[in-house]
Amino acid sequence: MVQTWFGGGIWQCWVNSSHTLVCFSCSDASSNWACLTPVKCGENENHCVTTYVGVGLGGKSGQSISKGCSPICPSAGINLGIAAASVYCCDSFLCNISGSSSVRASYAILALGILISFIYVLQARQ
């Protein structure tokens, strides 16, 4: 118990000593579990950012997650059915712990696109 408190006290002193933001950081990780390294942001970096890119087709899919500090807050997202990308930002202590999960590749949109393609091909043959 004492060791935990002591370690936590050192952590809080490190964070509070300069009043800078602390964010999780990683680059092109395949899962959110690989993105749990805290870093102290620079003086002008007031936002934590998480970028998610995912691609999926059938049973094959992949994703890339990047996290870090940023001087700007570029929140955005796009979902194209088989591919999705999103950027999430926040501005509090270790707030970017989660992956940017608001946008993911949608199997429903992918299935709808395939269905429309089949209907188009079948109508073109008549």
Provide the pLDDT for residue 7.
Answer: 46
Residues making up the chain, counted from first to last:
126
Provide the pLDDT for residue 11.
Answer: 46
Provide the pLDDT for residue 100.
Answer: 58
Please give the Cα distance from 92 to 78 (Å, whole number): 25
Provide the pLDDT for residue 31.
Answer: 86
* 88 and 100 Cβ atoms separated by less than 8 Å: yes
Provide the pLDDT for residue 6.
Answer: 41
Domain positions in the chain are: 21-125
Query: In the CATH hierarchy, which top-level class contains the domain 21-125?
Result: mainly beta
Stretches in the chain below the pLDDT threshold 50: 1-15, 102-106
